[in-house]
Chain A
């Protein structure tokens, strides 16, 4: 610049200064996420208004239709149950920077595995629920784990991009389930299996309404309790075990992990098996607890929403439960919102804002008046 250049005119009356933080203050992550969600809802409101909707009504509807009464709150928890599982599935893998974005496919295989226990017909009629339920849950977890394990094994042995493989396995799993519900397990040519016997249903609150009349109509099922237990277990695994430490170390600094002698390939396969099992549980408990038969299209994208849930929770298993309930509300109430793309749009905006807000965790951002 020569001396003759006139003084620079400033467009804004302030300048933005960013300084790298040496450490992130406790609790800032939570506050930033909250702020990001608030900004996202504001942007979504503007967009809804722009396409001719009424954002206040839309949001009020979501709150009323998902949290307004004990009945709908129970429905919200039913929707949140698979989201807790898929959110945990993503959180475990993402914590290690393994991008399992195919939880939807593992969920499908989990649902198929649980259904197979009932529909293959090896168990005699009238088998106790105490036999059915554990078998279904375990079969679902195994099916999901193996499905994710394919991508994990390919990643660990050949360094095949797991983002693409897990996603392609979603499309394959969807067709696999379709084959069974259109073909061998089809009931009278319809695209669904026969209804499971009562013994194969996970107990719901409403099942106890004879003893406690207030529980009538509440469909929240045992799967929710299993999901909470899974969240606790995943937290324990990540924060309190040696393996969990290794997973976090690989995620934060793979080079250091390798020098520390951690077998990264084996850990990748293990994490994918755990992640897949969790997603498989989402499918198994949804089928056994809520749908009670295998059918096409039973998931409104629980696996994909799990990705957002995991990020919103910043991969914290306890946070996953909270975020899953919030998104369960959005999915429940979103069914009635028109046009149908609005929930997906809001989810995308929330995810954008949350990851963009990370900059505040890494930098001190200040406005300096000129």
Chain B
């Protein structure tokens, strides 16, 4: 088992979580929980692969993002203007997106060459370890992921629109009083979140495991992305670390099934196949442990979600 290659694979697969989680981070910073990530990813994965393989790859990426944004708009209308419960609306979006993608994806090929270019950066790839993990033969989308995180950090914490975004999520009535259009901000960031979820889906079907894999296309990445935002405490850097970490652990559980012995000890996962199901549980156990860790840390430091997260804003009504 080659640790560097496993880490590189973790970064590649982690990009899926990264896009979805950063998208959710934007929406939640604006006060909107969108649990439809899984559904939006499914539709993005479908549109990206279909258009990407039949028309043009970059048009596929673009339309995957547009499709994700469109679904998020539906969530926005229902939860912002109709003031429905955001949790349920998100669940409905997951059902809807998954169903629509399965219906439209019927009969698409399950295998395909990668649709987007794979890049090795000239100088950076020479750095020991880091070069192989981050800069050797990674999809162009992985590099976009590297750029997305600092840009998000900059936008959210160091610009005026970012200040408005945080105000809308923490104290919408105060933001409104200062002339920020709460509704417009919430729609914009919900849709941005949807676009990034669509991109995450397209990353799966166009770069990571190219092809359409029916109901196995998106496994649990959307849900884990929601957990990663909580783990990351709504900060892009920590969220990125979590995304690569979870993907690396997933990869490790696969790699540990192959060899006859691990570090000189006979490998039980090789000797007795059913025990690999315990390996398969590991990433999900990890996610729960990570949430427990994040929750106890948040309790200790009195950190938390944006104060208005999940609450509909009605102009002129108190206590909302």
Contact = CB atoms under 8 A, between A and B. Distances in A.
Contacts of A178: 274, 277
Interface residues of A, number: 48
A358 B84 contact: yes
Nearest to A186: B274
B244 to A, nearest CB: 19
7 closest pairs, A vs B, by CB? Answer: A341-B102, A345-B99, A348-B96, A183-B274, A348-B95, A344-B99, A351-B92
B274 A171 contact: no
A85 B10 CA distance: 40
Contacts of B226: 163-164
Given A182-B274, A352-B78, A344 B281 contact: no
B110 interface: no
Contact of A339 (B82, B103, B277): B103
A343 interface: yes
Contacts of A308: 95
B285 interface: yes
Interface in A202-216: none
B109 to A, nearest CB: 16
B100 A172 contact: no
A132 B98 CA distance: 40
A154 B74 CA distance: 32
Contacts of A311: 88
Interface stretch (B128-136, B161-169, B190-198, B288-296): B288-296
A362 B230 contact: no
Given A164-B226, A176-B277, A352-B74, A342 B91 contact: no
B41 to A, nearest CB: 15
B284 A168 contact: yes
A307 B95 CA distance: 11
Interface in B32-82: 35, 39, 74, 78, 82
Contacts of A355: 78, 84-85, 88-89, 92
A267 interface: no
A28 interface: no
Interface in A320-369: 338-349, 351-352, 355-356, 358-359, 362
A343 B96 CA distance: 10
A258 interface: no
Nearest to A345: B99
Interface in A133-166: 154, 158-161, 163-165
B263 interface: no
A158 B292 contact: yes
Interface in B190-238: 220, 223, 226-227, 230
A178 B284 CA distance: 15
Nearest to B292: A160
A160 B291 contact: yes
Nearest to B95: A348
A101 interface: yes
A31 interface: no
Contacts of B280: 175
Interface in A3-19: none
A237 interface: no
Interface string A232-259: 0000000000000000000000000000
A362 B312 CA distance: 13
Most B C-beta atoms less than 10 A away, residue of A99, A159, A165, A352: A352
A247 to B, nearest CB: 17
6 contacts: A160-B295, A168-B288, A183-B275, A183-B277, A339-B103, A345-B100
A345 B96 contact: yes
Contacts of B220: 167-168, 171
Given A161-B295, A342-B99, A355-B88, 18 more contacts: A47-B100, A101-B91, A158-B299, A160-B288, A168-B285, A172-B284, A175-B277, A175-B280, A183-B273, A345-B100, A346-B99, A348-B95, A348-B96, A348-B99, A351-B91, A351-B95, A358-B84, A359-B82
